[in-house]
Amino acid sequence: MADITELESLRWDLRQDCVDIIMAGGGGHIGGDMSVIDALMVLYENHLRITPATTTDPDRDRFVLSKGHAMEAYYTILCHEGFLDLADVEARFSKFGSPYIGHPNNKLPGIEMNSGSLGHGLPVAVGMALAARMDGRDYRSYVFMGDGELAEGSVWEGAMSGANYGLDNLCALVDRNRLQISGSTEDVMKQDSQESRWAAFGWNVISIPGNDLVALDDAFGLAAETKGKPTVIIANTTKGYGSPVMENKAAWHHKLPTADEYAQISADFKAHKEAGLNA
Amino acid sequence: MPNTIANRKAICDILLERAKTDKDIVVLCSDSRGSASLTPFFDAFPEQSVEAGIAEQDLVGMAAGLASCGKKAFAASPASFVSTRSYEQAKVDCAYSDTNVTLIGISGGVSYGALGMSHHSAQDIAAMSAIPNMRVYLPSDRFQTAALVNALLDDEKPAYVRVGRNAVPDVYAEGEVPFTMDKANVLCEGTDVTIVATGEMVRPALDAARLLGEKGVSATVLDMYCVKPLDAEAVVKAAKATKVVLSVEEHSPYGGLGSQVAQVVSENCPRLVRTLALPDAPVITGTSSEVFAHYGLDAAGIAASATELLARAEA
């Protein structure tokens, strides 16, 4: 269990690692990586019960990255937690013959399911939660989705069954950064209000500032305490969070930083980290 | 006494038997437990049954999630829907993620008759065969269906199984089903024509061989229940020993058994090959037997196609 103060510092190091993976591979979904990486970090550091030694333990918690394009953030966390080697990922990400592709690859240690096509993760996580109940095991199933992803009908099929079966061992998180590749989610396909939509489907809804580590930590804790229904955390995040170069700019959905932009982004991360340390 | 037990019931019987000693068997339906003949399983093992409602994407996604946690998931839904509505879940969650999910396409082909093209699955073999790591099986009768389901319960790979809605005449006798996984059954051997059939077309193919025999034409009949992986060795062996090859399937003429047979024959032992299949169009309204007769997919039609093909080869 990591102290939130430590995580406030760590998150900027992880962002730097993530951007370095993207630079090494020559591309990645940087905007969504930056919005969701805090939630990934808090989940893996403080809540998800899995280690590199327990990747096949039947009692391990399950995690599915349904917004699979945030893979560079996922690689970063998997490396930090010891599932993968950062130097190896940087050396081979997106390269010919590499297992480190742009979406989850469950041939790699620690990754449960492949994804990439949006809208798949929630039904899969529902199945995982059902399996836990059938076997009388207390592991929890987590799934992270993007907000643009919520336009997929299969998400709502999973929302129905998760509530229908009262799966309180299931926790979904929506990375509500309000941008998708074409622009604002509200311009592309209105998403507001996600809180009322999920509540109407019978879920316990926790809406938080999604780049607030304390709020994230508390939300995962509250979800675990909720009985009788699954929980969705609406994490109201900032796409590209961490540098004004890319924050809230749809063009940064998968933009590769120039050398100058990379330098500025790295400087911004460093400044954030130092400001936190001096606070 | 004609058989009255549909292949879908044979599936339920095996699952019921095996679930007595295997708590990891899980059956999922999409408001289809009745039409899949799986109500007895839901009644006997409610804790190993999952209802998805009319939501095939959720059905297959949940099955994959269950399978990733060690369950042997059998997801049953009309073939027309489970092979296309949830096609991407079959591709990504089952095949790509390599989960132990068996998709059961019930009432396949033109089983739903007058309900029309929305309910027909004349594309499922092509669709499912094109997915890497997805196997495709069309058992020919209730006994082979039972043998297949038993075999699938003993492996851990994704598969798609298509069965029809109605009881079909037996091809085999009880207790006398030769079954080796992914190996075709040679039902009879001849020197003139090879008939490769799958699913409900096997029985009429066998009857066609008898009709041909009465006219002095000898036929080999292969029961190719394993469309993918195709038993290429059996096809090549039979083709080499005969003059022409006729494939028969309740499917579109594109991308099904015939396409695979033609590929194997043309690469290994070129012979005239004909694909006998449904048309590339909505099929005529009728029962399965009426539709089959209309398109020459009954014994008489198969025999006629074989005779024509042989005449062309010998011309």
Q: How many beta-carbon contacts under 8 Å exist across A and B?
A: 107
Return the pLDDT at A1: 83
Chain B contacts of A111, Cβ < 8 Å? none
Query: What is the identity of the amino acid at B244?
Result: V
Domain harbouring A202, CATH code: 3.40.50.970
Reduce the DSSP state of residue B176 to 3 states and report it. strand
- The share of chain A scoring above pLDDT 70, in percent, equals 100
Q: Per the CB < 8 Å rule, is B61 touching A123?
A: yes
Q: Which candidate, B218, B70, B64, B27, places its Cα nearest to that of A139?
A: B70
Task: Give mean pLDDT, residues B2-27.
Answer: 96
d(CA B198, CA B261): 12
For chain B, say whether A151 makes contact (Cβ under 8 Å).
no
Count of CA atoms in the C-beta half-sphere (13 A) of A17: 22
Return the pLDDT at A263: 98
Could you tell me if B224 and B187 are in contact, meaning their C-beta atoms sit under 8 angstroms apart?
no
Which domain does A75 fall in, by range?
4-278
Look up residue A99 and give its two tokens: 């297992």
**A170 Cβ neighbours under 8 A, 6+ residues apart:** A125, A126, A128, A129, A140, A141, A142, A143, A162, A230, A231
In this complex, which of A128, A157, A164 lies closest to B65 when CB atoms are compared?
A128
DSSP secondary structure letter of residue B271: -
Task: Give mean pLDDT, residues B259-266.
Answer: 98
DSSP secondary structure letter of residue B283: P
DSSP secondary structure letter of residue B91: I
Torsion sign across C-alpha atoms B269, B272, B276, B282: positive
A64 phi/psi in degrees, rounded to 5:
-125, 125
Q: How many domains does chain A have?
A: 1
Asked whether the predicted pLDDT for residue A106 surpasses 90, the reply is yes
In this complex, which of A127, A129, A157 lies closest to B64 when CB atoms are compared?
A127
Return the pLDDT at A276: 85
Q: Per the CB < 8 Å rule, is B62 touching A130?
A: yes
For chain B, say whether A158 makes contact (Cβ under 8 Å).
yes
Asked whether the predicted pLDDT for residue B1 surpasses 80, the reply is no
A interface test, pick of B27, B47, B68, B87 with most A CB neighbours within 10 Å: B68
ipTM confidence score: 0.96
CA distance A57 to chain B (A): 10
Could you tell me if A173 and A136 are in contact, meaning their C-beta atoms sit under 8 angstroms apart?
no
Mean pLDDT, chain A, rounded, equals: 97
pLDDT tens track for B271-299: 999 999 999 999 999 999 999 999 999 99
Task: Give mean pLDDT, residues B78-85.
Answer: 97
Could you tell me if A148 and B80 are in contact, meaning their C-beta atoms sit under 8 angstroms apart?
no
Return the pLDDT at A278: 75
Return the pLDDT at A279: 66
Look up residue B195 and give its two tokens: 């008939």
d(CA A214, CA A224): 16
Q: Per the CB < 8 Å rule, is A160 touching B47?
A: no
- The share of chain B scoring above pLDDT 90, in percent, equals 98
Mean pLDDT, chain B, rounded, equals: 97
Task: Give mean pLDDT, residues B151-163.
Answer: 97
- The share of chain B scoring above pLDDT 70, in percent, equals 100
pLDDT tens track for A138-187: 999 999 999 999 999 999 999 999 999 999 999 999 999 999 999 999 99
Chain A contacts of B53, Cβ < 8 Å? 157, 160-161, 164
Task: Give mean pLDDT, residues A243-255.
Answer: 95
Could you tell me if A250 and A184 are in contact, meaning their C-beta atoms sit under 8 angstroms apart?
yes
What confidence tier does B2 reach under pLDDT thresholds 50, 70, 90?
confident
Across the strands, what pairs with B159? B102, B135
CA distance A207 to chain B (A): 25
Asked whether the predicted pLDDT for residue A8 surpasses 70, the reply is yes
Task: Give mean pLDDT, residues A108-118.
Answer: 97
Return the pLDDT at B127: 98
Q: Per the CB < 8 Å rule, is B66 touching A130?
A: yes
**Cis omega before residue B86 (within 30°)?**
no
- Segment 70-99 of chain A within 8 Å of chain B by CB: none
Reduce the DSSP state of residue A165 to 3 states and report it. coil
How many Cβ atoms sit within 10 Å of the Cβ of residue A237?
28
For chain B, say whether A55 makes contact (Cβ under 8 Å).
no
Q: What is the CA radius of gyration of chain A?
A: 18
Task: Give mean pLDDT, residues B243-266.
Answer: 98
What confidence tier does A224 reach under pLDDT thresholds 50, 70, 90?
very high
pLDDT tens track for B124-150: 999 999 999 999 999 999 999 999 999
For chain B, say whether A161 makes contact (Cβ under 8 Å).
yes
Could you tell me if A216 and A235 are in contact, meaning their C-beta atoms sit under 8 angstroms apart?
yes
Task: Give mean pLDDT, residues A54-83.
Answer: 98
Chain A contacts of B66, Cβ < 8 Å? 127-128, 130-131, 134
In this complex, which of B48, B71, B92 lies closest to A114 when CB atoms are compared?
B92
Q: Per the CB < 8 Å rule, is A114 touching B70?
A: no
Task: Give mean pLDDT, residues B153-179.
Answer: 95
Return the pLDDT at B89: 98
Q: Which residue has the tokens 């699952």?
A: B15
d(CA B124, CA B252): 9
Task: Give mean pLDDT, residues A77-92.
Answer: 98
For chain B, say whether A115 makes contact (Cβ under 8 Å).
yes
For chain B, say whether A13 makes contact (Cβ under 8 Å).
no
Could you tell me if A48 and A98 are in contact, meaning their C-beta atoms sit under 8 angstroms apart?
no
In order of their start, the domains of chain B are 7-162 (3.40.50.970), 185-314 (3.40.50.920)
Q: Specify the pairing of strand B185-188 against strand B135-137.
A: unpaired
Asked whether the predicted pLDDT for residue B182 surpasses 80, the reply is yes
Task: Give mean pLDDT, residues B196-222.
Answer: 98
DSSP codes, A26-74: T---HHHHHHHHHHHHHHHHHT----GGGTT-TTS-EEEESSTT-HHHH
pLDDT tens track for A184-207: 999 999 999 999 999 999 999 999
d(CA A102, CA A92): 11
